[in-house]
Amino acid sequence: MQYAWMPAVLLALASRAVASQTITVPGNPSALIVTAAVIGAQPTPVSSSTNYSITTPNPAGRTYKVTAQLTAALPAGVSIVATATAPAGASSAGAITLSTTAQDLVTNLSRSLNYTGTITYQLVATVAAGVVSSQTRNVTLTILRFP
Amino acid sequence: MNAGRILAAMALLTGAATAATAQTATQTVTFAVNAINRISISGPASLTVNTANAGSQPTDAVSSGITWAITTNQSSQKVTAELTAASGGNMPANTTLSADMTAPSVGTSDGAQSLSTTPARLVSGITKVAQSGIALSLTLHADVSAGTISSTTRDVLYTVTTGP
């Protein structure tokens, strides 16, 4: 039984893995439908807000960030802008136009953090977009170590 | 426990640890853009015919400073104008009110068109444009046979619709 000590070591490693950062969302934002414009100007953007919750583990010297990306591109002339609030000590990247490339929403999240914030999604459409029938896009929010 | 089982267990746990380095959540965003067709005119016009070159019909009165604006996210739109029945309908005999609407960046003007209670097309071929400050002029023409007409008003209804 020369490997008898191994299970304990592996379980210890597994326990450390479980204690990692997490991000959850309670649901989806309400539908974003552009319906109006100031005459002579581009259509008026519409917004919807939801919450997001994050926890970070305790290891010293670590910080984290939240990124967002679309899983599929948007129609031409249409964009979705995301803005996330940040806890004290962290930094919101402000209004980010989402794409299929992950972009930082919030950075410099501290360790041992338990925070619930707001993400506001804004739909922006130019007249060039034309009429766009109802459709959906998934936004993937990821929390990972930073930098 | 043999070495193979231990290695398998290590592989599983290593995978778990790797997956735990980045956590994700997904939100579904539902969106749509409805048809938008809006038009506005900058303000009322006051037109008075009050002079003539001797030997000719009275000189037309032409508005100044009127502009219009439009936002449409659709294609092949046109602007029509008509006199509303509620405001008195057609013009008095021997007078004509005409409108000349400059086209936006995408579209074609029909030039000056006489207005009546039947819609007259002023601009066509408007496609997906948001623009303001576009020129519009109204012209009042009165023959001498119209005689003297006391101050009266007509409402002009401008409409954006799909069509040639």
Look-up of token digits 């074609």? B108
**pLDDT value at position B123?**
98
CA separation for the pair B132, B129 (Å, rounded)? 10
**pLDDT value at position A9?**
43
Amino acid A35 reads T
**Beta bridge partners of residue B40, listed in sequence order:** B69
Q: How many domains does chain A have?
A: 1
Q: Which residues of B touch A125 (CB under 8 A)?
A: 33, 73
CA separation for the pair A17, A35 (Å, rounded)? 47
Determine, for residues A41 and B6 on separate chains, whether the beta-carbon distance falls below 8 Å.
Answer: no
Which range has highest mean pLDDT (B16-25, B39-48, B73-82)? B73-82
Q: Is the residue at A43 inside a domain?
A: yes
**pLDDT value at position B92?**
97
Q: Is B20 on the interface with A (CB under 8 A)?
A: yes
CA separation for the pair B158, B137 (Å, rounded)? 13
Asked if pLDDT for residue A99 goes beyond 90, the answer is yes
Determine, for residues B73 and A125 on separate chains, whether the beta-carbon distance falls below 8 Å.
Answer: yes
Q: Extract the tokens encoding B143.
A: 């023959």
Residue pLDDT, tens place only, A110-144 = 999 999 999 999 999 999 999 999 999 999 999 99
Q: Is the residue at A76 inside a domain?
A: yes
**pLDDT value at position A19?**
60
Asked if pLDDT for residue B16 goes beyond 60, the answer is no
**What does the domain layout of chain B look like in residue ranges?**
37-162
Give the one of B10, B17, B128 whose C-beta lies nearest to A127's C-beta. Answer: B128
Q: Is the residue at A128 inside a domain?
A: yes
Best probe of the B interface among A70, A126, A131, by most B CBs < 10 A, is A131
CA of A73 vs chain B CAs: smallest distance (Å)? 13
Asked if pLDDT for residue B18 goes beyond 50, the answer is no
Q: Quick one: closest CA in A to B40, which residue?
A: A39
Residue pLDDT, tens place only, A34-52 = 999 999 999 999 999 999 9
CATH number, residue A120: 2.60.40
Strands A103-109 and A63-70: antiparallel
Which ranges constitute the DSSP H helices of chain B? Answer: 3-19
Q: Does the domain formed by B37-162 have CATH 3.40.50?
A: no
Q: Is B76 on the interface with A (CB under 8 A)?
A: no
**pLDDT value at position B8?**
42
Cβ atoms within 10 Å of B43's Cβ, excluding its own:
9
Q: Extract the tokens encoding B51.
A: 């002079």
Residue pLDDT, tens place only, B56-108 = 999 999 999 999 999 999 999 999 999 999 999 999 999 999 999 999 999 99
Q: Is the residue at A1 inside a domain?
A: no
CA separation for the pair A40, A42 (Å, rounded)? 7
